[in-house]
Structure 1
Amino acid sequence: CELTDSLSADSGIGDVDDLPVPQQIRISNITCDSFKISWDIPDSRGRERITHYFIDLNKKENEKENKFKHKEIPTKLVAKAVPLPMTVRGHWFLSPRTEYTVSVQTAAKQPDGDYAVSPWSEIIEFCTADYSAVHLNQLLQKAEAIAGRMLPFTVFYRNQQKEYFQQARDAQCRRMLPSVKDNSGSHGSPISGKLQGVFFSCNTEFNTGKPPQDSPYGPYRFQIQADVLFNQNTNVYFGDFYCMYTSYHYVILVLAPAGSDGDAFCSGRLPALDRANNFFLRCSEESDGSLSFRHAQDVILEVIYTEPVDLSLGTVEKISGQQLLSQSTVNAKKDPSCKICNISVGR
């Protein structure tokens, strides 16, 4: 049963009664915005008097416990004493990939509307899950709605400080190695803190058709022909859609060579895109056998390539523009109030 009610702080809560205390709290079927909860009531004394369950849920970082204390909290969850396990969904607007604590007490509603309650159970900790495929597809549809027309491009590029490329050159492998994606973007994206890759950009300036001369990541730029990373052997996945309290939006795509570890990670976790026919990044074969490439005009694409990239396959040059540090997305937080890039579950 998923029927729940709110308990006002003005509602009467009687002194602790001889009602049985829930034991062996169990959490199961965890998603990004719901979970199932069950427990045992080994003491039969008072069991027949139970009419409701009170459930207290807090984010783990909250050190102050928000129990049922008169006038101190506006609302708490009250559930009728239905068969267990009971599904808890949406009442607290649960956030994905967030640690929570939960405890339970039994209650008996009195004729005057007050409640007699048991002591609180033990406190259990659990963590909500990443976005599911259903949620990611909702996010994908929102991104598709604003992607705009497609513009041609010929190179992927990566900006960094001079030291980054120098260290890569000095290393024996002379490659840019994959690193774990940070926690920027949607909190529920399955790639954050898990997927390894090398970040690239491909957006071009409308008036020149070339990469912009400004960058938030560094004054040195590695450029590589698009077909080296993106070709008929490359699978494309949608990873995220977000903004950072600004008018422009970011879309994260993953390019994974077929059969690679990155491809195995993305398959089943992320929505796969048709490389020749999607709203963000296209690779099309021309009549002469050559490949042409296009990117969406109205979003900023962040492309993660899941394999190491040899520096000898491209060039490193200093750009003439400025470092726009305000546009950096490193560990950037998504705007939870944006109606364009948020879905109905947690942020």
Structure 2
Amino acid sequence: MERVYIYRTEQNKTRLHEKSYSGHTYKCVKTTCAHSVTEVMIQIAFQEGPNINIIWDRKEVNPTQLYMFMHHKKSLRKSSHWILDLKQDSLSLTFPFHGITGGYDLLVCGLKPLSAETTGLPYYQVYGSASEKDTSSRNTMTIHLKRSPPEQYFQSEQNGDFDVEKDHMPPSHYTLFGLPVRDSIHVIRVHQELPPAYFLYVHKGSNGSRFKFPNIFIPASDYHVTVYESEAQKGGSSDRGISCYSTAKVSNVLHFRAYMTKNEVNELFVKSCNFVQKQQDSRFVKIAHFYRDKLPAYFDFIFEKNCGIMPTYYKTISGDKASTIHLNIKGIFFNTLVKGKKNKKPKISCHGTKRLHIPAPFFFEGVNIYFADFYCHYTAHKVTLIFAVKGTKDDKFCSARLKMVGLFKNPFLYINPEGNVFVRSGVRVEVFYADEIDVQSLMHELGGNNVFLTDVRPLYRPRDIVISKPKRDDCKICNLKARSKVI
């Protein structure tokens, strides 16, 4: 017979009473104490197997629901989930392991309900937890709920059965898609790194392959999402406040950093402006060309196989990992850096041995300019500007997410009414031009003295050239406040 014992410590009295509930017996014991309520212990006795005592401090956490997750050490597919409603006087559980719990680990979490959709399915934030391992080594265990659950349970690296992906809508709303559409339940667990938080959602597979998270994700925080495709266990326990799900498949962990919103983009913009103002050699210098350094094979492809057209490609993670433009818009990178008193282009390059020069005024025709990023890798800081053709989908995408700056006046790169282009020398300004370029036609139109190729000395061997890499997370100059709190 299963029994649930509820012990509550209060002041000045000891009472013992016994009631019947659904054919089972439970006891509530109230003992003497010189202070107010401090803790509640719920003891769940298995029909066969170990007893599990779960204790939590009412001053720290006071859950109305508990989440219990038991999984096999070698396979998340051999796992079960329980969501227990603690508003009732007692609960009776039947675990589907038939007393064979050896080799399973247990996670217990206190849950705070979040707003739910009209489906009535539960959405929770985890705000207290405890865990136990090696359940086969003893018959009983006592575990205390703490402020946050163990991270390893929320971002397992085991190989999964399927992939899930995310979709983003500004400012910081996310939808999960790629869920299997079956008559099953999806238990979705989310670990938020900054600030530390954990969430649990239940979604019906028959409701479709997409799940919109009801809460806003924190910009610049890293997230780890795992989906368990589970079967609801039958037996009529739901009317007693118990939901039990047995895992059939588990997804690969989806890792991503939540995009910065316009507020965070503005924060980076202010940081970049403050940075250039503090530089000793911070001035505007006139430049004639934007340039692009690549290996010879790249330009051979353009002129020999692509009719002289330079194609666009998706913006990779070469700056702040929270930037919303990564893998969302296509374009072509160009450099604007000049050095020395004579404002000469660098003679060496870390991107290739061939350099294409295109007159700078060409890029300002029919575009809007957006500030997108401020970052560094080692010592040199860079600003990324997006040049988006007016009215295109990329222009609309940037308008909703980035900070627009003026063509004729901005802190980094502008053109004057006479058609001269000036760039700020105190920071490296890179341009991401969101459109393909017909280089061959430009050469014919503007002449070989204006659009041309030159050789450049490589900084690295060709096989060592780095295509892209994220910014330094430990830089106090160019990181968002949310990131700098953990540096």
**TM-score of Structure 1 vs Structure 2, range by shorter chain:** 0.5 to 0.7
Counterpart amino acid of 1:319? Answer: D
Which has more strand, going by share of residues? 2
Conserved 8 A contact 1:262-1:307: no
**1:251 match: secondary structure:** strand
The amino acid of 1:323's aligned partner reads L
Partner residue of 2:471 out of 334, 340, 343 = 334
1:98 aligns with 2:223: yes
User: Is it true that 1:144 corresponds to 2:259 in the alignment?
Assistant: no
Q: Distance in 2 between matches of 1:308 and 1:260?
A: 13
Q: Which residue of 2 aligns with 1:225?
A: 359
1:165 aligns with 2:299: yes
Aligned to 1:262: 394
Listed one character per residue, the Cα deviations across residues 78-100 of structure 1 (whole Å, up to 9, x for unaligned) are: 9xxxxxx998998xxx8546324
Alignment partner, residue 301 of structure 1: 429
Structure 1 contact 159–218 (Cα < 8 Å) conserved: yes
What are the ranges of 5 or more consecutive residues in structure 1 without an aligned counterpart?
A: 1-10, 24-38, 65-75, 79-84, 104-117
Q: 1:51, 1:225 → 2: CA distance? A: 60
TM-superposed CA distance for 1:178, in Å, is 0.5
Q: Deviations over 1:263-313 (max 9, x none)?
A: 12211111101111111111110xxxx311111111111210001111122
Matches within 5 A, 1:25-174: 42=85, 44-46=87-89, 53-54=127-128, 55-56=148-149, 58=151, 62-63=156-157, 95-96=220-221, 98-100=223-225, 129-147=258-276, 148-174=282-308
2:455 corresponds to which residue? 319
RMSD value over aligned CA atoms?
4.1
Give CA-to-partner distance per residue, 1:207-240, whole Å, 9 cap, x none.
2223222111111111111111123x22110111
Letter in 2 for 1:280: F
Higher relative contact order (CA closer than 8 Å, sequence separation 6+): 1
**Separation of aligned partners in 1, 2:223 and 2:312:** 26
Q: Does 1:251 align with 2:367?
A: no
Q: 1:278 to 1:305 in 2, by over 3 A?
A: same
* Structure 1 SS opposite 2:270: helix
> Structure 2 CA distance, aligned partners of 1:120 and 1:16?
19
Residues 1:62 and 1:344: Cα distance change in structure 2 (over 3 Å): farther
Asked if 1 retains the 8 angstrom alpha-carbon contact of 2:351 and 2:466, the reply is no
SS of the residue aligned with 1:223?
strand
8 Å Cα contact 2:66-2:111 kept in structure 1: no
How far apart are the structure 1 equivalents of 2:111 and 2:437? 63
Q: CA deviation at 1:164?
A: 0.5
User: Is contact 2:257–2:321 with CA below 8 Å preserved after alignment?
Assistant: no
State the AA in 2 paired with 1:159. Answer: D
TM-score, normalised to structure 2, is 0.50
CA contact (8 A) 2:339 2:346 kept: yes
Q: Following the alignment from structure 1 to structure 2, what is the Cα–Cα distance between the partners of residues 51 and 175?
A: 56
> Structure 1 120/142 Cα, relative in aligned 2: closer, same or farther at 3 Å?
farther
In structure 2, the partner of 1:21 is 66
Greater gyration radius = 2
Supply the distance in 2 between the matched residues of 1:224 and 1:77 (Cα, whole angstroms): 49
Identity %: 24
Aligned residues: 282
SS across alignment from 1:63: coil
Question: Structure 2 unaligned runs (5+)?
Answer: 1-38, 43-51, 56-63, 69-81, 91-109, 113-126, 129-147, 159-195, 199-212, 229-241, 277-281, 444-450
User: In the TM superposition, what is the alpha-carbon distance from 1:334 to its structure 2 partner?
Assistant: 1.5
Q: Which amino acid aligns with 1:142?
A: K
SS in 2 for 1:262: helix
**What is the letter of the counterpart of residue 157 of structure 2?**
E
Equivalent residue, structure 2, for 1:193: 327
The answer as to whether partners of 2:370 and 2:385 remain within 8 angstroms in 1 is yes
Q: Note the 1:197-216 alignment, pairs <5 A.
A: 197-216=331-350
**TM-score, scaled to structure 1:** 0.68
